[in-house]
Structures are given as C-alpha cells and as structure tokens.
C-alpha cells in the first residue's frame, strides 16, 4: 500500500546519504555544519547499496551454525612483539596475527617514522614485512630507512597508490606484517570516488581487513587526522579495525605520546612515550625527568602537577603568567590546557576567594607539548595563576593536584597513590592534595586541603595573615 504524494524509497533503488569526514556521523541530508562534531563542510555524499528483497537471507549453500558459548574457543591470538618496548607496551605485548590496527595522528607527528622503525625491528626478528608507501616514493622511504638504521633484508617496499596492485603483491611477498601508509592515499580505481573520500577509505579498509583476516597478516593502517577535515578521518574506520592508536604531541616539541583509543585484544590504559630525535623516535621510560629538565622553580607561576596518562604517572610543569592587558577584552590563553576549565577556574577564584583577574591577560601552558585536560589539574593551575598574580614562587619541592568544585572546594582525584609515588621517586618532599590523600607517601608529606583558599594560605600566596589550620601547619 502506498500513500498519494509519498515516494516509495528502498527496494531495488540506490539511495544516497551523507557522512561526516571528521566524525563519521551519518545524515540523511546535506548540511553545511556537522550536527555532531560541529565541523564545517565535512559532509560527503556516499552511495548506499540498494536494499534488495533477498538481502536478509544468505546466499544458497552458505551456512553458519549457532553454538553454545562454552563450546567456542577463547583463543584471541597471541600478540607477537615488534621489538619496540614503548609500542609493544601500548599494544599489550605486540600485534596479534590477522589483526588490523589504525595509527592516527596529525601530519608530521611521526607516524611513518614510528612504523618504519617498528617494522625494521620486526624484520630483524625474522618476520617478513611489506611496507606500502602511498605518499612517498620508494627512494624517499629508502633514504629515511637508511637514516633510521632500518635497512633489513626481510623488509619489502612497494610505493603505489593503487590498492588492487598492492594486494597482488601479497602473493609475491607472502608477508607476516603489512603497513599501509596511508589509508587516505590508497584507492581502488573501480570505485569512482576520489582517494581520501569516505567511500574510498572505507572500501580500501574493507579489502585490507578481509585480506588480513584471510591470510593472518597483522596489518597497520596509517590515518591522518586533519583539523580541516579535508580527508576522511580515522573515525570513519574505527569500527572496522581491531585497534586504534593515537599518536599525539606538539610538532614543535620532541615529546610524543602513543595511546590506544580502542583495543580488542587488551586494555586501553597503557601510554607510550617517545622523543623525536635526529635518528628517529626513542622510547622514554622516564618521561617525568625529561619533562622537568628545564624547570626554573624560582619563577612565580610555575607548578608541578603529578598527572596520569592511562596507567602512567607523569610529572608535568604547568605555568601561568598574569599580565597587564592592552585589549578591550583581556586574553585567556591555554596551551595544552582545557580553555573551558580555565574560564571556570578564573570564575571560581574570583567569586569564592576574591582573587580577580578582570582587566588582566592570563596565559597558561603545560610545558613540553603535553595536553593536560584532566580536572585533577585544577588546583595546580589555580595556584600557578595566583602565584603569578602575587609574584611569589611556589616551593621547588612541592607538587600539587586536586579537582576544584564550583564552591572552591578541593575534590579527590583518581590514582592518587600512583601520582604521589612518582613525585616521591622524583625527589619531591611535599604535596598539596585533596582530603582523601594519605598523610605520607614514603618520604613525601601531604598537606590535605579542603578548599583552594587553604592552599593559597598554606603557600603564603595571599597578603592576609590568617594562619592555616593545624593539619596544614603540620607539613610546612
């Protein structure tokens, strides 16, 4: 039955819809701005396969059998290490044969460098690797490999953007491990759309996933994350792959963090830390030392925060500078700091303890190109701002962490013991922390503060002379 004036859509007819290149959210109509991620001009038309009357039934002859769950083998596959500790750690031991991993990150962050080093290590250990370069010529990859000490007999290279031709090489090379650099630059010519479009990226990934599973090849796909959304971003592929890794850092800083965003074969809590050097990426097992190397503790506005990334504690220096503004609306800037959180903290400081910065510029940053977005950084950031405003430095041997509520109260944070353990290991003597913290962690003494105002008094950052409470005096 049909109604007059209504189109019958569906059976046997090919339809189209729109998908955001940046966040993969579908939309039935084209709109200028994605309703989900808010990016402009990222919606792209994709064809939807016609719904045929028979599509719900399987092809003749193909049959699957449902089984009781207890009779299904639990063999997830054993990860094979690549030989780069910081990378293997994030992967929970290495790459599982037949698994597909997506490595996402901004252009220039070091994805190709990391993977070339990783596959060279795997080739050195006797695994056969095929490195597919769809961005750089074979000679460019070779010269980089030479610089990285990655020339290995078992490392095979093909520089081509036609994925059909690349897949033909699988029979020749019989690889155990394949890297496709990048998924946005390979294409299947039969699928008319342009390389990098949502349709091409998905189709190519489908083919690569199919081959990976069929031949038990561990496959790593490189995916660029572009702010402009000009290419289909890795989010378009997240559901297709087993593991999604994100490689992050500031291009102008040497430090890089690798984390698992999705991992079908293990936890997503491990974080790998690398430093970009002249001869490639070097794992940094002791990242706190690197991050604090250039610290000048006598400067007002500098605070050390015991942060956590996944399961790893890192000591990060936060800096604030409060300066006279010459602008009608003063600047509030946060590099590596959540700007919404910064505004919230400034409002709390103004309303709850009367420390106003109206008419002043406030610059804040997390040193070393690290991003600190956890609320556990609130107290450290607030005290860095007040320290700069008062022009009084915070003692060099003190770390600070705690979340601040809208009332100015200091709230507890996760993984306190891990944070404080790292501070103690690095030789810090005092910590200013929420009430839930222990009194002592080894030789580190904790001042437990109920309110941000108490921390200000404890550090003598304010002009008022009201003495701190007994609990606070004990650790001065």
Where on the chain is the footprint of ligand TYD (CB under 6 A)?
105, 107-113, 144, 147-148, 276, 278-280
Write the CA distances from 382 to 327, 368, 453, integer angstroms: 23, 19, 10
Give whichever of 256 and 341 is closer to ligand TYD, judged by the CB atom. Answer: 256
Residue 113 partner contact from ligand TYD, Mg ion, none using kind-dependent CB cut-offs of 5 to 8 Å? ligand TYD
The site for Mg ion (CB under 5 A) is made up of 112
Give whichever of 110 and 272 is closer to ligand TYD, judged by the CB atom. Answer: 110
Least distance (Å) from ligand TYD to the CB of residue 109? 4
Least distance (Å) from ligand TYD to the CB of residue 168? 25
Residue 110 partner contact from Mg ion, ligand TYD, none using kind-dependent CB cut-offs of 5 to 8 Å? ligand TYD
Q: Which residue is nearest to Mg ion (CB)?
A: 112
Least distance (Å) from ligand TYD to the CB of residue 62? 41
Tally the C-alpha atoms within 13 A of residue 175's C-alpha that lie toward its C-beta. Answer: 29
Least distance (Å) from ligand TYD to the CB of residue 263? 21
Give whichever of 55 and 146 is closer to ligand TYD, judged by the CB atom. Answer: 146
Q: Tokens 């995916």 appear where? A: 223
Residue 190 partner contact from Mg ion, ligand TYD, none using kind-dependent CB cut-offs of 5 to 8 Å? none
Least distance (Å) from ligand TYD to the CB of residue 115? 8
Least distance (Å) from Mg ion to the CB of residue 111? 5
Least distance (Å) from ligand TYD to the CB of residue 119? 13
Give whichever of 26 and 149 is closer to ligand TYD, judged by the CB atom. Answer: 149
Give whichever of 131 and 363 is closer to Mg ion, judged by the CB atom. Answer: 131
Give whichever of 279 and 311 is closer to ligand TYD, judged by the CB atom. Answer: 279
Give whichever of 224 and 448 is closer to ligand TYD, judged by the CB atom. Answer: 224
């Amino acid at each position: 039955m049909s109604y007059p004036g209504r189109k019958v859509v569906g059976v046997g007819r090919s339809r189209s819809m729109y998908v955001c290149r940046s966040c993969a959210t579908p939309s039935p109509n084209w709109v200028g701005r994605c309703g989900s991620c808010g990016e402009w001009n990222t919606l792209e038309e994709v064809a939807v396969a016609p719904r045929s009357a028979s599509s719900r039934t399987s092809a003749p002859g193909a049959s699957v059998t449902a089984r009781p769950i207890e009779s299904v083998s639990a063999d997830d596959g054993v990860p094979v290490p690549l030989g780069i500790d910081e990378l293997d750690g994030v992967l929970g031991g290495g790459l599982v044969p037949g698994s597909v991993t997506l490595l996402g990150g901004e252009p220039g962050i070091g994805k190709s460098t990391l993977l070339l080093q990783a596959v060279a290590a795997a080739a050195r250990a006797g695994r056969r690797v095929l490195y597919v370069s769809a961005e750089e010529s074979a000679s460019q990859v070779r010269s980089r490999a030479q610089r990285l000490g990655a020339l290995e007999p078992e490392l095979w290279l093909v520089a081509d953007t036609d994925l059909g031709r690349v897949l033909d090489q699988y029979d020749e090379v019989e690889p155990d491990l394949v890297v496709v650099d990048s998924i946005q630059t390979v294409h299947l010519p039969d699928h008319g759309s342009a390389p990098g479009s949502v349709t091409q990226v998905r189709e190519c990934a489908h083919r690569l996933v199919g081959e990976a599973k069929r031949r038990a090849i561990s496959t790593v796909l490189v995916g660029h994350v572009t702010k402009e959304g000009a290419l289909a971003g890795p989010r378009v592929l997240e559901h297709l792959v087993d593991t999604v890794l994100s490689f992050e850092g500031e291009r102008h800083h040497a430090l890089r963090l690798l984390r698992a965003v999705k991992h079908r074969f293990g936890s997503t809590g491990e974080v790998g830390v690398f430093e970009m050097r002249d001869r490639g990426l070097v794992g940094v097992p002791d990242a706190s030392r690197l991050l604090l190397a250039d610290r000048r503790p006598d400067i007002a506005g500098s605070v050390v925060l015991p942060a956590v990334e996944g399961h790893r504690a890192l000591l990060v220096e936060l800096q604030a500078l409060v300066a006279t503004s010459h602008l009608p609306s003063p600047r509030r800037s946060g590099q590596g700091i959540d700007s919404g959180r910064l505004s919230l903290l400034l409002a709390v400081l103004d309303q709850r303890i009367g420390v106003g910065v109206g008419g002043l510029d406030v610059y804040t940053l997390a040193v070393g190109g690290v991003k600190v977005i956890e609320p556990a950084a609130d107290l450290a950031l607030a005290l860095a701002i007040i320290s700069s405003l008062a022009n009084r430095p915070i003692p060099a041997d003190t770390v600070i962490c705690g979340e601040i509520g809208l009332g100015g109260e200091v709230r507890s944070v996760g993984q306190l013991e891990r944070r404080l353990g790292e501070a103690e290991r690095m030789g810090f003597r005092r910590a200013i922390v929420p009430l839930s913290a222990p009194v002592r962690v080894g030789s580190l003494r904790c001042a437990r503060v109920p309110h941000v105002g108490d921390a200000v008094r404890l550090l003598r950052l304010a002009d008022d002379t009201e003495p701190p409470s007994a609990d606070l005096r004990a650790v001065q």
